[in-house]
């Protein structure tokens, strides 16, 4: 069933339904409210989530409950995704039963819904990816390691994020233990990936609707313990390499006939090759800088793309934009301390996500700074952000 929407009319009763109710839906909802739209959220979490404080239209239920999801979708004009912890078969049943347009479509989502399918999809489209293989046991891992060498990455095919579901292994003993941790004995699919020697990790966001595609400037993501610590834009690499990553991201979005906002993570190898590592069918942490850093943020273009509205410019507002993730420092009720200097800085912007509980390492907010010189802006932003406690 093909269900679509295209419009240049802003209706006061137009409702976007989000599957997921975390900070990504919250930041997207802020942009929808600017257009006078209404927001509905469906979450599988029992505790209150960030976007639930913004709308009375909130439903709790399982992401496998087709009837409940369909009843939610039927009350919305559009349904979109905040996370990928979903199943394309369920999404298709919900779309068809409710007759509500869903972007990305279940067909698009199916092509990237787990790491194995994702790699196969982009590889078939001619987009370079990290070498990979679905592994069932230690023999499969050893065979893969014979070809690509140790160390290697073992990843849960579905559901990994921020270091969860990913393990670097140096030898067969570590691989055996990692397979247990990742749930191979429970039937979970595990994908082995070669360990790439890279110079930098890059990211590109793409917005696409029925008529147009816009691409954000390639940025560098700086990781600590598998968590994105910071994003610097534009990525401090040869402009030709930035252009190459942007072209690959646009091609990847087209390959899956994506509609909405998509994010792509790349490795820039020591040989200056660019390999697609992972994708996300939604706004992404690597694009938070765009709220103040671009003419049109990833969240605004997400709303525009799924609602059938014209896409906005992705041009940077400043020569340099830096985003620092603010992680929980304590196990406590959420509270922000020592943010005065950060908030007083020139062209700097503090975002707190509205989570009720702070946990060590949990993403609680982010801090963005615009400037002329990338190194100086990054150093200043990092100093100010490091003083903040949450």
pLDDT tens-digit readout, 61-106: 999 999 999 999 999 999 999 998 899 999 999 999 999 999 999 9
Q: What is the mean pLDDT of the chain?
A: 93
In the numeric block, the tokens 């942009």 are attached to 31
**Is the domain of 138 the same as that of 237?**
no
pLDDT digits (tens, 9 = 90+) for 16-26: 999 999 999 99
pLDDT digits (tens, 9 = 90+) for 302-344: 999 999 999 999 999 999 999 999 999 999 999 999 999 999 9
**Is the domain of 30 the same as that of 85?**
yes
Residue 5: predicted pLDDT:
52
In the numeric block, the tokens 């196969």 are attached to 120
**Is the domain of 334 the same as that of 295?**
yes
The answer, yes or no, to whether residue 164 has pLDDT greater than 80, is no
**Is the domain of 165 the same as that of 105?**
no
The answer, yes or no, to whether residue 1 has pLDDT greater than 50, is no
pLDDT digits (tens, 9 = 90+) for 98-153: 999 999 999 999 999 999 999 999 999 999 999 999 999 999 999 999 999 999 99
Residue 222: predicted pLDDT:
97
**Is the domain of 158 the same as that of 274?**
no
Sequence-ordered alpha helix ranges (H) in 170-282 = 172-181, 239-255
For 202, 212, 244, the CA distances from 258, given in Å and listed in that order, are: 20, 11, 20
Point out the least confidently predicted range of 3-12, 46-55, 181-190, 264-273: 3-12
**Is the domain of 204 the same as that of 315?**
yes
CATH (domain of 328): 3.30.470.20
**Is the domain of 215 the same as that of 349?**
yes
Residue 110: predicted pLDDT:
97
d(CA 216, CA 173): 42
Residue 2: predicted pLDDT:
47
Angle of the 23-34 helix axis to the 298-307 helix axis, nearest 10: 70
The answer, yes or no, to whether residue 165 has pLDDT greater than 80, is no
CATH (domain of 173): 3.30.1490.20
Mean pLDDT of 250-257: 98
The answer, yes or no, to whether residue 225 has pLDDT greater than 70, is yes
Question: How many structural domains does the chain have?
Answer: 3
Percentage of the chain lying above the pLDDT 90 cut: 86
Better-scored residue on pLDDT, 181 or 251: 251
The answer, yes or no, to whether residue 163 has pLDDT greater than 70, is no
**Is the domain of 325 the same as that of 312?**
yes
Q: 0.85 cut: is pTM over it?
A: yes
**Is the domain of 367 the same as that of 287?**
yes
The answer to the question of residue 309 being in a domain is: yes
Neighbours of 163 (CB within 10 A): 14
Mean pLDDT of 266-273: 96
The answer to the question of residue 322 being in a domain is: yes
pLDDT digits (tens, 9 = 90+) for 284-303: 999 999 999 999 999 999 99
Segments of the chain assigned E as strands: 15-19, 38-43, 58-60, 78-81, 102-103, 132-135, 152-156, 166-169, 190-194, 198-208, 213-215, 219-224, 227-233, 260-269, 274-280, 320-327, 332-333, 348-352, 357-358, 363-371
Residue 7: predicted pLDDT:
57
Percentage of the chain lying above the pLDDT 70 cut: 96
Domain around 169:
131-194
Residue 238: predicted pLDDT:
98
Split at pLDDT 50, 70, 90, the class of 369 is: very high
**Is the domain of 221 the same as that of 336?**
yes
- Domain edge (last residue) among 76, 110, 144: 110
**Is the domain of 102 the same as that of 42?**
yes
Structure tokens at 292: 């103040």
């Amino acid at each position: 069933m093909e269900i679509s929407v295209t419009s240049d009319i802003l209706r006061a009763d137009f409702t976007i339904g989000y599957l997921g109710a975390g900070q990504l839906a919250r930041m997207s909802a802020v942009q929808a409210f600017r257009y006078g739209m209404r927001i509905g959220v469906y979450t599988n979490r029992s505790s209150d989530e960030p976007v639930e404080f913004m709308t009375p239209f909130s439903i709790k239920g399982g992401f496998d409950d087709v009837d409940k999801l369909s009843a939610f979708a039927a009350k919305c004009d559009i349904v979109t995704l905040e996370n990928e912890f979903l199943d394309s078969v369920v999404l298709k049943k919900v779309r068809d039963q409710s007759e509500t347009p869903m972007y990305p479509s279940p067909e698009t989502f199916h092509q990237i819904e787990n790491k194995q399918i994702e790699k196969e999809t982009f590889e078939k489209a001619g987009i370079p990816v990290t070498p990979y293989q679905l592994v069932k046991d230690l023999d499969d891992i050893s065979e893969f390691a014979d070809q690509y060498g140790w160390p290697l990455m073992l990843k849960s095919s579905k559901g990994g994020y921020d270091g969860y579901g990913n393990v670097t292994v140096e030898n067969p003993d570590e691989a055996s233990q990692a397979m247990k941790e990742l749930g191979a004995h429970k039937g979970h699919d595990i994908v082995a990936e070669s360990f790439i020697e890279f110079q930098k990790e890059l990211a590109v966001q793409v917005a696409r609707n029925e008529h147009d595609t816009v691409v954000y400037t390639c940025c560098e993501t700086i990781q600590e313990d598998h968590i994105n610590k910071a994003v610097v834009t534009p990525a401090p690499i040869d402009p030709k390499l930035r252009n190459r990553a942007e072209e690959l991201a646009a091609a990847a979005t087209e390959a899956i006939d994506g509609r909405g906002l998509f994010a792509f993570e790349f490795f820039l190898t020591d040989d200056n090759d660019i390999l697609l590592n992972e994708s996300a069918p939604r706004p992404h942490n690597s694009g938070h800088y765009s709220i103040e850093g671009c003419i049109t943020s990833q969240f605004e273009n997400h709303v525009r793309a799924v609602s059938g509205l014209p896409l906005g410019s992705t041009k940077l507002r400043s020569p340099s934009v830096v985003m620092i993730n603010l992680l929980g420092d304590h196990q406590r009720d959420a509270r922000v301390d020592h943010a005065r200097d950060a908030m007083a800085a020139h062209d700097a912007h503090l975002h707190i996500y509205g989570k009720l509980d702070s946990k060590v390492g949990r993403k609680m907010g982010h801090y963005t700074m615009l400037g002329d010189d990338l190194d100086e802006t990054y150093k200043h932003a990092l100093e100010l952000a490091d003083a903040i406690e949450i």
